[in-house]
Amino acid sequence: MSDRFELFLTCPKGLEGLLAEEATALGLEETREHTSAIRGFAQMETAYRLCLWSRLANRVLLVLKRFPMANADDLYDGVLSVDWAEHLDAAGSLAVEFSGNGSGIDNTHFGALKVKDAIVDKLRTSTGERPSIDKVNPDLRIHLRLDRGEAILSLDLSGHSLHQRGYRLQQGAAPLKENLAAAVLIRAGWPRIAAAGGALADPMCGVGTFLVEAAMIAADIAPNLRRERWGFTSWLGHVPALWKKLHAEAQERTDAGLAKQPSWIRGYEADPRLIQPARNNIERAGLSNWIKVYQGEVATFEPRPDHNQTGLVVCNPPYGERLGDEASLLYLYQNLGERLRQACMNWEAAVFTGAPDLGKRMGIRSHKQYAFWNGALPCKLLLIKVQPEQFVTGERRTPEQREREREQEALGTTPDAPANAPVEQARLSEGGQMFANRLQKNLKTLGKWARREGVDCYRVYDADMPEYALAIDLYHDWVHVQEYAPPRTIDADKAQARLFDALAAIPQALGVDKSKVVIKRRERQSGTKQYERQASQGTFTEVSEGGIKLLVNLTDYLDTGLFLDHRPLRLRIQREANGKRFLNLFCYTATASVHAAKGGARSTTSVDLSKTYLDWARRNLSLNGFSDKNKLEQGDVMTWLAADRQDYDLIFIDPPTFSNSKRMEGVFDVQRDHVQLLDLAMARLASGGVLYFSNNFRKFQLDEGLAARYQVEEITASTLDPDFARNAKIHRAWKLMAK
């Protein structure tokens, strides 16, 4: 075999330039970049060194042969012509990987099979002995790449991908591969900062990948020093003496590096479940003396290194995996920007994100940006110098805007800052300030009404400005924000920018902490989707209404457990319930039943198909001391009504627009089925009784034939409080009595 080999090094897309620099420094010659790979020439010593020391490569491939290929027979013959006895024993094991297509090869599995057949046929002995296939730990891993009619046949020296350093046996939900983490650190200048004695902190460290990679760079540790099995371990061309020499040199450098004064490297993680896995990974890497991990929120992040050092803040904040998730992450990025400005002056920062629009909301400019790929996801690395001249101080105000602001100030619509508000407030865009002004105006007007009426939860904004399509509800000291999905005719980028402007304004305009703003997206629902969990936090907040206490869950479901627009109807039921038998159909969390019990109802019966909501209803009743004489029935309302034989003096029905729950037969459609529903319910209404019927289907039309059988009165206008006066179509309501 030759003393000089052609090598291919593969890597994640976007790392080619960095890998070329690294490989050239390690001895690769005539280096050229390709997509997700580089190539060059080197002796075996450099090939081994690349395996040991490359922080960025996935694989090191040693090219055995290049040959033209027009069809599958050419593929077989080209592989067969290699003297495989120089590489693998007949009793050894083999794995083949094939990439590319063309030249009659349209299936990579077929291509790999032809390569395997040629190698096996070449090595088969007269007794029939031949190499076996082992896809996990073969003696030889062969790779063939087909590129525009040329076959490149290579031996994989690395074996398993080089990003698998061996320390990360535990990982979080969205792990960053080790070589990508190393690339971020290198591009961010960490080798320079570490050499100058700088510190490193990760405020969202997860299981510690950035921390370990940073420590290995600072301590001059070969990233794959601890790997025990390589692609060349059982290769017949392997030179053990040369490998042992290079491995020993790397071990000496590692020992010398670890003997130095450790760099100050700290990680902080909000999720307590990730703290121990991070510490376990750090311990496996042998770096417990260099790295410490603590539990901590981004909002309180403050690195405190020894001797007033500065250094690098590096992090990989979440990007948002589902549509609408980015909005809920806005405050996380804002908090990160605030902590950089307030606690990391004169540091450098590297923020790796798949949501660069969120990066723009940190209130601090990046001086450089680099494009990367995290798997198939395009990402940006934002490099930041944390210095005052980089801080975003707000947009230039036009004379017209300044005049509007003076008018708002004269009207007194700017609320006093709450006592626990942060000293620094983010500057708003012109659109954001306009939105904040409207929100403050609504708060001033509705707040007076709410305090006068003793209302704890109310809607403060409902798409008043069409370009800011949000519904914003106050639940005591929490803010519940629902984004109405924009029409497809609206540019998605513009809609998202407006959403971010509005969300940035909400904490300031309403005087609340960002941590108490919950964001969801509301769009047209079908089937049971409206009942699906949005999260699983299981956190309930106690609110009050009409002298009772109710539990709301602001995070786990699209709806919170309390329909605010039905507040007047619930209070009417409370006033009318004394001594009456009350029936609540489609009861949801039975808030109307709690009001009826508070009003002195003789008994309440609440019917719903969902066990989850009935459990919630039971907690609402118990919270107010109404566990007795209040029945909860699980069942399909229509079926239950047909079987029930009790009479009721007061009935409330608030059905869904549509339901096809697995627990019921058929499908419920309120427009189609409301006549049958009301007839069944009216049959259970006692003499002199009252039935209240309401629903939220905007196109609903009450069947005219009902008025021939019952006294029917539409009461919609009297069931809308001031917080829903701007949205009169939120629901329609009727009062029914027997003739």
pTM: 0.79
Number of domains in the chain: 4
Least Cα distance to 169 among 276, 266, 247, 258 occurs for 276
**Does pLDDT of 135 surpass 80?**
yes
Based on the domain organization, do 486 and 358 belong to the same domain? no
Based on the domain organization, do 211 and 135 belong to the same domain? no
| Residue 226 Cα distances to 250, 253, 260, 282, angstroms | 11, 14, 20, 14
Strand partners, 521: 483
Domain range for residue 689? 542-738
d(CA 491, CA 67): 50
Q: Per the domain annotation, does 233 fall within a domain?
A: no
**Does pLDDT of 440 surpass 60?**
yes
Based on the domain organization, do 343 and 383 belong to the same domain? yes
Instruction: Please give the residue that has the higher pLDDT: either 50 or 497.
Output: 50
| Residue 719 Cα distances to 218, 631, 692, 695, 703, angstroms | 68, 26, 11, 12, 21
Across the range 424-449, mean pLDDT stands at 88
Residue 729: what are its φ and ψ, rounded to 5°? -95, 10
**Does pLDDT of 252 surpass 60?**
yes
d(CA 24, CA 28): 5
* Confidence bin at 422 (pLDDT 50/70/90): very low
Based on the domain organization, do 406 and 269 belong to the same domain? no
Taking each helix axis from N to C end, the angle separating 178-187 and 209-218, rounded to the nearest 10 degrees, works out to: 60
Residue 645: what are its φ and ψ, rounded to 5°? -125, 10
Per-residue pLDDT tens over the stretch 681-727: 999 999 999 999 999 999 999 999 999 999 999 999 999 999 999 88
Least Cα distance to 724 among 734, 732, 736 occurs for 732
* Confidence bin at 632 (pLDDT 50/70/90): very high
Q: Per the domain annotation, does 238 fall within a domain?
A: no
d(CA 713, CA 735): 5
Task: Specify the DSSP element, H or E, that contains 711.
Answer: strand 710-714
* Confidence bin at 172 (pLDDT 50/70/90): low
So what's the pLDDT on residue 655?
Answer: 95
Enter the tokens of residue 469. Answer: 């399509």
What's the length of the chain? 739
Q: Which of 344, 361, 390 is the last residue of a domain?
A: 390
Residue in this structure with the two tokens 């670890």, named with its chain if needed:
258
| Residue 315 Cα distances to 29, 333, 340, 350, 517, angstroms | 34, 11, 12, 7, 23
So what's the pLDDT on residue 535?
Answer: 52
Query: Which residue stretches of 285-385 are H helix?
Result: 325-343, 356-359
Least Cα distance to 606 among 614, 595, 615, 598 occurs for 614
Based on the domain organization, do 587 and 482 belong to the same domain? no
**Does pLDDT of 175 surpass 80?**
no
So what's the pLDDT on residue 325?
Answer: 63
CATH of the domain at 35: 3.30.2130.30
Based on the domain organization, do 351 and 461 belong to the same domain? no
DSSP annotation of 586 reads S
CATH of the domain at 487: 3.30.750.80
Enter the tokens of residue 30. Answer: 């005539």
Exposed, middle or buried by CB within 10 Å (0-12, 13-18, 19+), for 722? Answer: middle
d(CA 445, CA 434): 17
So what's the pLDDT on residue 174?
Answer: 63
Least Cα distance to 588 among 557, 553, 554, 612 occurs for 612
So what's the pLDDT on residue 664?
Answer: 58
Per-residue pLDDT tens over the stretch 374-419: 988 999 999 999 999 999 875 444 444 444 544 444 444 443 333 3
Report DSSP letters for 328-356, one per residue.
HHHHHHHHHHHHHHHH-TT-EEEEEES-H
Based on the domain organization, do 729 and 597 belong to the same domain? yes
Least Cα distance to 498 among 351, 357, 348, 398 occurs for 357
Q: Per the domain annotation, does 51 fall within a domain?
A: yes
So what's the pLDDT on residue 335?
Answer: 92
How many C-alpha atoms does 221 have within 13 Å on its Cβ side? 24
Q: Per the domain annotation, does 480 fall within a domain?
A: yes
Enter the tokens of residue 48. Answer: 């081994």
Based on the domain organization, do 129 and 211 belong to the same domain? no
d(CA 621, CA 628): 9
DSSP annotation of 424 reads -
CATH of the domain at 289: 3.40.50.150
Query: What share of the chain in percent tops pLDDT 90?
Result: 78
> CA 443, 449, 450, 452: dihedral to nearest 10 degrees?
140
Q: Per the domain annotation, does 239 fall within a domain?
A: no
Q: Per the domain annotation, does 245 fall within a domain?
A: no
Based on the domain organization, do 59 and 186 belong to the same domain? no
d(CA 259, CA 17): 32
d(CA 117, CA 124): 10
Least Cα distance to 673 among 690, 656, 686 occurs for 656
Based on the domain organization, do 509 and 555 belong to the same domain? no
Based on the domain organization, do 607 and 662 belong to the same domain? yes
Of 17-31, 309-323, 525-539, give the lowest mean pLDDT range: 525-539
Based on the domain organization, do 454 and 486 belong to the same domain? yes
d(CA 183, CA 18): 7
Report DSSP letters for 153-211, one per residue.
EEEESSSS-TT--S--SS--SSPPPHHHHHHHHHHTTHHHHHHTT-EEEETT-TTSHHH
Q: How far is CA 610 from the centre of its chain?
A: 28
Q: Which of 156, 186, 210 is the last residue of a domain?
A: 156
How many C-alpha atoms does 548 have within 13 Å on its Cβ side? 27
Across the range 483-494, mean pLDDT stands at 81
Q: Are 19 and 54 in contact (CB under 8 A)?
A: yes
d(CA 489, CA 468): 15
Q: Per the domain annotation, does 133 fall within a domain?
A: yes
Q: Per the domain annotation, does 169 fall within a domain?
A: no
Secondary structure, 3-state, 479-524 = EEEEEECCCCCCCHHHHHHHHHHHHHHHHHHHCCCHHHEEEEEECC
**Does pLDDT of 423 surpass 90?**
no
Q: Which of 495, 523, 551 is the last residue of a domain?
A: 523
